[in-house]
Amino acid sequence: MEQLGLEGVHKHVGQEPSGRQFDDLTLLARTVTGNYTGDFAKDDLEGRFARVPFNPMVNAGAIMTAGLINPNDSHTQRLRHIRQQFGRLIGWTSKNNNVSKLPRFNKNMARQENFKGYNNIAMGYLLMATGSLPHTKSDLHKDIHPDEDEFDFYIEPAVTEALKLYFSICSLEMTATDVAMAAATLANSGVCPISQDRVLSQKTVRNCLPVLQTSGMYNASGVFFQEVGLPAKSGVGGGVLLVVPQLMGICIFSPRLDEQGNSVRGLEMAKKLTSKYLVHTFDGTMTDTSREDPKLPIARWLANSCGEAIWAASNGNIRTLESLVSQQRDLQQGDYDIRTPLHLASAEGQLEVVKFLLNQGVKPIPDRWGGYPISDARNNKHQKIVDLFNELKINYTEPFHLVENPKGKTDKMANFEDELMVIELLFAAAENNVDNIRHLVAQGVPVHAGDYDLRTALHLAAAEGSLDAVEYLVSHGHPLNVRDRWGATPLDEAKREKRKEVINFLQNYKANIN
């Protein structure tokens, strides 16, 4: 592709799924001129049809592809070139020139392929018969054999050279980590992540990945595309290469194969990845909050999963909640404090929202402090909501909030218009993800921005014992005495959760500034 371009390659090999076994001898009849009559012999004779392998993923296509690579060089030069190109995919560079980092050539395996690969040898000559295999035109030399009953039998070198190179490529060895790095280079638009070497152009990667997607898993490609939805290539050695564009490359290795020639465990592992993470090509059409989106920082994914519903419930926005229900979003999911939409609707006196959530099957659950939504309604004197919860006949527990000095100094928190970014900041603080906090602050989110419960990033970092986050927030101007809905400061939260390191840091910092 890099040397010949898309059109140049597809003059010799196609990109269509074959629907046949990988070693099938059938070729794709492709119209060149005229109309298809149904008589293959006549059509070929009149030049109306070209015959090419269906795609590079079947053996015929792989042999043809091997024949296209530097056909005028010697076998040694061609194999060295290919090893170096594969090496660049996995991090080798010509500057370090470390041969041990190149894929290893297994000569014994190549010889076994040569002696036993009769079907592949037949394919090589079939490709030669189509005229598509690159070769130098052979002149019919005068027979010089002295015996009248013998003649000089000619073997076309282009066929043997293509087959020899194909068998050699099939005998290159890489570790699973190497293959994963090659996949990561494809995922990274052709730039190797560890060497930063642009191995392939973006256009080449874009043109290659659809062929992996539709033909890379042999006869199971369609089912694999539907269930896993990632560009992939399996091999009869038991490996499965997966490309998650703009995210990562994966290699799964387990040699036991199914009847299509794919790794049995490799397929199951790929399915499990898709069941846990939003990586399927068409996951963008879904709003599944039960699976993680690895393309987002974990804090942002968590914020997206629960934040919109909680803010809508807090503000009495039933229309948004109805929309989320139609998207199959989980309206019972809580935030970093296990505060749910039902908690906030109860706290803010949103009676209709509470009724709506209960009618949707949302059940009251306790938050971080053991408080149920009924406590929020009771504390804020929303009696109708209290009566509604009492009808459910649940044994509610009362929350425990530690507030050592309720009349002490109180610092102001900051308001920020992008509510989801505030929630992301608090999730990042709870996860001790300083990089994510730094990124959000750089986007303009105040370090002491507060949520619907007046909770700030320092509250969450202190409660979870996230010392790195605490140090960052305080050093960047987060006030120490901001108070949440119940009057608790970050130090109160650290004490309630017995976070000794955070307690010591905050107390020493407070003593120093006083």
Q: Compute φ and ψ for 252, nearest 5 degrees.
A: -115, 130
pLDDT in the model for residue 35: 45
**Range name among 112-121, 162-171, 262-271 with the lowest pLDDT average:** 112-121
pLDDT tens readout for residues 186-218: 999 999 999 999 999 999 999 999 999 988 998
Supply the mean pLDDT for the chain. 88
pLDDT tens readout for residues 361-420: 999 999 999 999 999 999 999 999 999 999 998 999 999 999 999 999 999 999 999 999
What's 249's DSSP letter? E
pLDDT in the model for residue 29: 54
As a whole number of angstroms, the distance between CA 486 and CA 372 comes to 14
pLDDT in the model for residue 497: 96
As a whole number of angstroms, the distance between CA 445 and CA 421 comes to 7
Tokens of 281: 């090509």
Q: Are 459 and 434 in contact (CB under 8 A)?
A: no
In terms of Cβ atoms closer than 10 Å to its own Cβ (0-12, 13-18, 19+), residue 417 is exposed
- Per the model's pLDDT, the better-predicted residue between 48 and 226 turns out to be 226
**Residue 356 pLDDT > 60:** yes
Residue-range domains of the chain with CATH? 5-135+152-173 (3.40.710.10), 176-273 (3.40.710.10), 298-390 (1.25.40.20), 419-513 (1.25.40.20)
Tell me the percentage of the chain whose pLDDT exceeds 90: 63
Can you say whether residue 296 is alpha, beta or left, with left for phi > 0 and alpha for psi between -120 and 50 degrees?
beta
pLDDT in the model for residue 46: 45
pLDDT in the model for residue 100: 66
What's 220's DSSP letter? G
Q: Is 509 helix (H, G, I), strand (E, B) or coil?
A: helix
pLDDT tens readout for residues 275-334: 989 888 888 766 666 788 888 788 888 888 899 999 999 999 999 999 999 888 889 999
Q: Are 125 and 235 in contact (CB under 8 A)?
A: no
Tokens of 127: 């490709």
Query: 505 vs 428, 462, 467, 475, 491, CA distance in Å?
Result: 20, 10, 8, 12, 10
Q: Are 128 and 138 in contact (CB under 8 A)?
A: no
The predicted model gives 458-476 an average pLDDT of 97
pLDDT tens readout for residues 76-121: 999 999 999 999 999 998 887 666 689 999 999 999 888 877 788 8
Query: 393 vs 338, 358, 361, 389, 446, CA distance in Å?
Result: 22, 14, 15, 8, 43
Residue written as token pair 């019919």: 140
pLDDT in the model for residue 42: 43
pLDDT tens readout for residues 419-448: 999 999 999 999 999 999 999 999 999 999
Helix axes 467-475, 500-513, angle to 10 degrees: 20
Q: How many residues does the chain have?
A: 514
Q: Are 445 and 418 in contact (CB under 8 A)?
A: yes
pLDDT in the model for residue 121: 85
What is the separation of C-alpha 298 from the centre of its chain, rounded to a whole number of angstroms? 14
The predicted model gives 154-166 an average pLDDT of 86
Q: Is the dihedral of CA 458, 461, 462, 467 positive or negative?
A: negative
Buried b (16+ CB within 10 A) or exposed e, 16-50: ebbeebbebeebbeeeeeeeeeeeeeebeeeebbb
SS (H, E, C) 8-43: HHHCCCCCCCCCCCCCCCCCEEEECCCCCCCCHHHH
pLDDT in the model for residue 69: 92
As a whole number of angstroms, the distance between CA 127 and CA 295 comes to 43
Q: Which residues contact 255 (CB under 8 A, 6 or more apart)?
A: 237, 238, 263
As a whole number of angstroms, the distance between CA 268 and CA 284 comes to 22
Which residue type occupies 334? G
pLDDT in the model for residue 24: 60
